[in-house]
């Protein structure tokens, strides 16, 4: 089927992730089966050999993350996919990827928890783990699309951001988005803009793997080429070899955070829906935001001036936009399928005169529009 010259498909969210990754240039996937993300690995195992890529099922989530980092350092665009417990297991190696600045994409199809929790049911309780999961200080990019056409575009954007900033990038969808099927209009390959990591402009004998003299994102060479260099999870200087020099350690860690935080305008993305004259705002993401959109429309039909601020980039958090919004509405409703995580972030930036109310639900059942509407009416 086609529309306006574009191919139209009816896919589930996890298939959209896999197909978008292929379109983004992903040529290596390592993973371990875990509900509700397993379809991504299954599809990648079939699709990657068709485009000259490689799929490998590792013995566990830790090894899968390690394999992805290795393939990235060998020059490939890479991805892994997991769910809650697997995301936990990957954290140490994600920290290593941050330290060596290896571009990679990590998909987390969130489910109920903690521990084994609800393997086949909805959850949105990994958003703080995405921000703070590894030890140490580091910058974070996490994308939270809610509609499947967005999942396609944001998966491609995740690869571009990973390459541009030499950083692990998260795609946080939830079980509902992963297993929901809906119409997706695919862009033509010629319409897809792909980015590549910065490359050395000097010969191998002059190459320094962390030379940031030209910018906060240093060029990266591939292993198995004429460029020979050292990478380590230890703090290191521009040569890539370990150092305990306090000044260098401070400068390098600040640089790795600055390379993202100084360019937030390039990263943050959100939708403002019916907010021009809103008195009550809803801030949400993922499947909970889909329910919230229905609640906002129903509130408008009842004469309540409600609108929604929907996060497509959760981290870095769009703090300035949220602050400005909180200064012109009298209350904010925060629907999230957990017992209260996003609300604490919003409270950090919101005006003191703005009332915050959560809609919090666990147990694997989605938040319903009626539940969001009840809180909008409470604040009206």
Write down the pLDDT at residue 1.
64
C-alpha–C-alpha distance, residues 42 and 57, integer Å: 10
Residue 232 falls inside a structural domain: no
Percent of the chain at pLDDT > 70 equals 99
Rounded to whole angstroms, how far apart are CA atoms 342 and 361?
A: 13
Residue 289 and residue 144 in one domain? no
What would the mean pLDDT of 34-56 be, rounded to a whole number?
Answer: 98
Whether 159 and 307 share a structural domain: no
Give alpha helix (H) positions in the chain. Answer: 13-23, 38-47, 61-73, 84-100, 127-132, 148-165, 175-179, 246-261, 264-267, 286-301, 319-326, 342-349, 369-379
CATH of the domain at 130: 3.40.50.970
pTM exceeds 0.75, yes or no:
yes
CA distances from 65 to 47, 78, 79, 92, 345 (A): 20, 10, 9, 9, 28
CB 124 within 8 Å of CB 336? yes
Helix 13-23 vs helix 148-165: angle between axes, to the nearest 10 degrees? 40
> Which among 304, 275, 277 is positioned nearest to 372, based on CA atoms?
304
In this prediction, residue 6 carries a pLDDT of 79
Per-residue pLDDT at 2 = 64
Q: Is residue 246 part of a domain?
A: no
Residue 353 lies in a domain: yes
182 with 286, same domain? Answer: no
Domain presence at residue 112: yes
Give the pLDDT of residue 258. 97
157, 191, 225: which is the final residue of a domain? 191
Domain boundary among 191, 220, 239: 191
Same domain, 42 and 145: yes
If asked whether residues 151 and 295 sit together in one domain, one would say: no
* 62 belongs to a structural domain: yes
Q: How far is CA 218 from CA 4, 201, 252, in A?
A: 41, 11, 11
Residues 169 and 315 in one domain: no
Which residue shows structure tokens 């994600």?
94
Whether 28 and 123 map to the same domain: the answer is: yes
- At 231-265, the pLDDT tens digits run 999 999 999 999 999 999 999 999 999 999 999 99
Sequence-distant (6+) residues with CB within 8 A of 240 are 208, 209, 210, 229, 230, 231, 232
Pair of tokens at residue 251:
């400068």
Give pLDDT, residue 239: 96
Q: Give the pLDDT confidence of 84-142 residue by residue, as tens digits.
A: 999 999 999 999 999 999 999 999 999 999 999 999 999 999 999 999 999 999 999 99
Number of domains forming the structure of the chain: 2
* Predicted local distance difference test score (pLDDT) of residue 186: 95
Examine the pLDDT at 5 and tell me if it is beyond 90: no
pLDDT of residue 3: 66
Contact assessment for residue 360 and residue 259, using Cβ atoms and an 8 Å cutoff: no
The count of C-alpha atoms lying within 13 angstroms of the C-alpha of 260, restricted to the half-sphere facing its C-beta, is 25
Give yes or no: residues 277 and 177 share one domain. no
Residue pLDDT, tens place only, 153-185 = 999 999 999 999 999 999 999 999 999 999 999
pLDDT at 4 over 80: no
281, 350 Cβ separation under 8 angstroms = no
pLDDT above 90 covers a percentage of the chain that reads 98
| Rounded Cα–Cα distance for residues 232 and 97 (Å) | 10
| Judgement on whether residues 13 and 147 belong to the same structural domain of the protein | yes
| Domain contains 338 | yes
Q: Are residues 65 and 157 in the same domain?
A: yes
Identify the CATH number of the domain in which residue 289 sits.
3.40.50.920
**Cα–Cα distance for residue pair 167/142, rounded to 1 Å:** 11
Last residue of one domain, picked from the residues 138, 166, 191? 191
Q: Are residues 13 and 160 in the same domain?
A: yes
Residue 122 lies in a domain: yes
In a domain, 363, yes or no: yes
The residue count of the chain comes to: 380
Mean pLDDT of the chain, nearest integer = 96
* Residue 51, CA distances (Å) to 22, 74, 139, 233 in order: 8, 18, 32, 32
Domain span at residue 288?
A: 271-379
Say if residue 159 is in the same domain as residue 16: yes
Confidence of residue 276 (pLDDT cuts 50, 70, 90): very high
């Amino acid at each position: 089927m086609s529309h306006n010259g574009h191919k139209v498909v009816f896919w589930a969210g996890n298939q959209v992730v896999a197909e978008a990754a292929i379109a983004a240039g992903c040529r290596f996937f390592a993973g371990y089966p875990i509900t509700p993300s397993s379809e991504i690995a299954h599809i990648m195992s079939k699709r990657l050999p068709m485009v000259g890529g490689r799929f490998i099922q590792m013995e566990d989530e830790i090894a899968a993350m390690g394999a992805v980092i290795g393939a990235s350092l060998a020059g490939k665009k890479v991805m892994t996919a997991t769910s809650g417990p697997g995301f936990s297991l990957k954290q140490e190696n994600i920290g290593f990827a941050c330290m060596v600045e290896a571009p990679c994409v990590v998909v987390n199809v969130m489910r109920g928890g903690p521990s084994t929790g609800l393997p086949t049911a909805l959850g949105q309780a990994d958003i703080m783990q995405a921000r703070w999961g590894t030890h140490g200080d580091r910058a974070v990019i996490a994308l939270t699309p809610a509609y499947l056409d967005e999942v396609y575009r944001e998966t491609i954007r995740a690869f571009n951001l990973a390459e541009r900033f030499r950083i692990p990038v998260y795609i946080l969808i939830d079980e509902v988005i992963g297993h929901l099927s809906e119409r997706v209009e695919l862009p033509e390959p010629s319409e897809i803009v792909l980015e590549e990591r910065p490359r050395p402009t000097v010969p191998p004998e002059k190459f320094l793997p962390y030379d940031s003299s030209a910018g906060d994102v240093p060029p990266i060479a591939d292993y198995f080429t004429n460029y020979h260099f050292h990478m380590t999870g230890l703090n290191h200087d521009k040569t890539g070899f370990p150092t305990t020099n306090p000044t260098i350690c401070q400068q390098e860690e600040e640089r790795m955070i600055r390379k993202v935080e100084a360019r937030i305008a390039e990263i943050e993305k959100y939708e403002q829906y019916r907010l021009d004259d809103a008195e009550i705002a809803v801030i949400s993401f993922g499947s909970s935001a889909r329910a919230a959109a229905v609640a906002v429309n129903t509130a408008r039909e009842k004469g309540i001036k409600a609108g929604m601020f929907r996060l497509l980039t959760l981290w870095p958090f769009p703090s300035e936009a949220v602050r400005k919004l909180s200064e012109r509405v009298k209350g904010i409703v925060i629907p999230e399928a957990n017992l209260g995580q996003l609300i604490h972030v919003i409270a950090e930036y919101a005006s003191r005169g703005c009332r915050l109310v959560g809609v919090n639900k666990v147990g694997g059942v989605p938040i319903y529009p009626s539940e969001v509407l009840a809180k909008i009416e409470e604040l009206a």
